[in-house]
Structure 1
Amino acid sequence: MEPHSTVSREEWLAARRALLAEEKAFTHARDALNRKRLALPWVKVDKTYTFDTPQGRKTLAELFDGRSQLIVYHFMLGPEWKEGCPGCSFLSDSVDGLLPHLEHHDVSYMAVSRAPLTKIEAFKKRMGWRFRWVSSHDSDFNFDYHVSFTPEEVASGTGFYNFEMQEIFGDEAPGHSVFYKDEAGDIFHTYSSYARGGEPFIGTYTHLDIAPKGRNEVRNLGEWVKHHDRYEDAPKACPSCAGK
């Protein structure tokens, strides 16, 4: 951590007011960006996708759970993985408290992974999460929304991700996809974001960004983030699941 100057309260207020002006400009720019996001054109989803859920096999339409909007988090947990991605888990630790507010604003939320449902359920129990999480194990969903890659793509090290061909580093990648269902039952893909597009959804980062040391990272969260039950002093949400 770089040494900081120490100043009088009056000097601090002057510096803080200058930064506040920039923060307000950033807020206004974000508002303008949000308006452009809402104005994006939509794509009708003509393909039928089905998912394994604790309540049986369900279609994408059924995952809306009676609401008109659906946010899907593409959680990195592949069929052969032993546990979920620490970064996806870091983001997902911020989700449960949002659910009542989203659901009462006509928005459903769920995570989707290619791992079998039994593996998803076990990891979800270990983490102590409540949000819905389903399996796209026998579906093209992850591939069509460009968060899973074929063995050929993995072998080549190149795949379509974040809206362009680029280097990939495994068979799974994170992202969000958003859908709308109209009164006729037609579904539309309205938005997706990938890579650092997930950062605004991580509540811990929002708090670290105002702490004196900030994020304290050189490159990314992989330098320090662990599953929340893997920190040395962490209470275990599911003691019998720890270490599995």
Structure 2
Amino acid sequence: MTLDITHAPTLSVPHGFFGRAGGQSEGAVAGLNCGFGAEDDPNAVRANRRMAADALIEGAPLASVHQIHSAEAVIATEPWPIEERPHADAVATATPGLLLGIVTADCAPILFADEEAGVVAATHAGWRGALAGVTDAAIGAMLSLGAKVERIHAAVGPCLAQRNFEVGFDFPEPLLAEDPDNERFFVEGPSGQPHFDLEAYVAARLAAAGIGRVWTAGLDTYAHPDRFYSYRRATHEGASTYGRQISMIGLARANG
């Protein structure tokens, strides 16, 4: 089956937000599950990650992190062994031919590039990480490699949309404590409870950091079960596990 890859028109380096189509995983996580945290055959996950990477840069090594919903960012020059991955939620590189990957299942995947400097980054932003400043950390890692804020382009991939992101009444408190203007990212849902717009919040954080070009996919992971994995949908369905889609970015090898 052909892989489902969403490309951002603002990024011209090898990159893609992958959906669940294709892959070797079976059962509840059938498709291109790329998360080792799912109840899945690790060999299938490795094969899926290799398949996705080859779709962007054939044979390229893939550097990924052990995601913990933090504001930690690291720099990669080569891939880490799976069991030795650093605990972080953003990874940057200036190494040509190396792909960076993060996995999501409702959280927002963000890909960054300063093509002139030859620096890219991949970030996993749930609401906790976003509020803590994971996007700022990713940008900081890029700057340390020679990127400039005014040249960075960012793309926000498929994530849980506001219409399906119902939260508790106390959920907005830390966001409003950070900035009362964050109230604009909430609406009252059909049940009377607030609904949070993660995509818009992340995009606003990027703009506030000085990123002039921010593209958003506008794709809801919850609403498209045949296309995306979703933690919230799996929870609502009483599923025992859930898959993760992968998003990758890298710099082409010097020889193209």
Question: Does TM, scored on the shorter chain, surpass 0.5?
Answer: no
Q: So what's the TM-score if we normalise by structure 2?
A: 0.27
Give TM-score scaled by structure 1 length: 0.28
More helix by share: 1
